[in-house]
Amino acid sequence: MTTTALDKRRRLLPRWGDYGRPRELVVRYLLLFLVLGLTVGPLLWQLLASLKGTSEDVFGANATLLPHHPTLHAYRTVFDQVPVWSYIKNSLIVVALSITSQLVFSTTAGYMLSKPGWKGRKAVWVVLIASMMFPFESIMVSLFISIRDLGLVDSLAGVWLPGFVGAINVLLMRGAFLAVPREIEDSAMLDGANEWQRFRYLYLPSAWGAVMVVVINTFISAWDDFLWPLIVLRSEGNMTLTLGLSRLQSSSFGYDQRTVMAGSVISVIPVLVLFVITQRWFYKGVSSGAVKI
């Protein structure tokens, strides 16, 4: 390799100074590892604790981080004590209903809010923003009374109905649709495309990243929900996974920390798998679907 080629290659390679001063670089990595430890640390600790045998301590002075003799005994105990597959089926039904309704109504509502020129648009925008200011606990009693009057107590439909559509998803889709250039829609109108065709073939493909964000957020919210199923559901056959696995902490099942940890890991695995598969679209949707005023 000639000297000219070596000099050109050196110029292309990143230099230490390109990343800032050494002290700043050390601080950045320390903060990065701190955030990583706070977010991933508890989950990793639960996983390691669930792999411990009955003779190993989970808490206390004699407890160690790594299991001396890793075993899947706690996971077998979970499947033996509670009907995990029935809980998973119920959770998947609620998740499927929630994702379907959220996609249908958040995309159509967001599309309408992105279109100027109709009366009441500002009022609907204000109502959506205001609805996000009230915590779920403040409307929980009125929601339960409504579900009871509809005869949906102790049913999966009663669990799903409050998550029918979310204001944050409507606003997210509105922001993604606003990012579509108006000139492209005008060209589609000149070609004879009607309202539905423009929405289906122009706006939805352009906002695919935001759609994936809605799917992921809805999945996590419906899958991890504990408080509302606890209020609505009564029978064991209708329990969702998070609610059903909480029974492992009762004395009737012989409370064991390893079994509880194993149940927590089981409930987290589907969320992690979904995020790993869709993370590329998730990050793209977060950036492209920013809410615009």
pLDDT in tens, 196-249: 888 888 888 888 888 888 988 899 899 989 999 999 998 888 999 999 888 887
Does the pLDDT value for residue 12 go beyond 90? no
State the amino acid at position 163 in one-letter form: G
**d(Cα 179, Cα 139) in Å, to the nearest integer?**
34
Residue 292: predicted pLDDT: 46
Residue 291: predicted pLDDT: 43
CB atoms inside a 10 Å sphere around CB 267: 22
Domains of the chain: 82-290 (1.10.3720.10)
Does the pLDDT value for residue 265 go beyond 80? yes
pTM of the entire structure? 0.80
pLDDT in tens, 49-68: 888 887 777 777 777 778 88
Residue 3: predicted pLDDT: 55
Does the pLDDT value for residue 293 go beyond 80? no
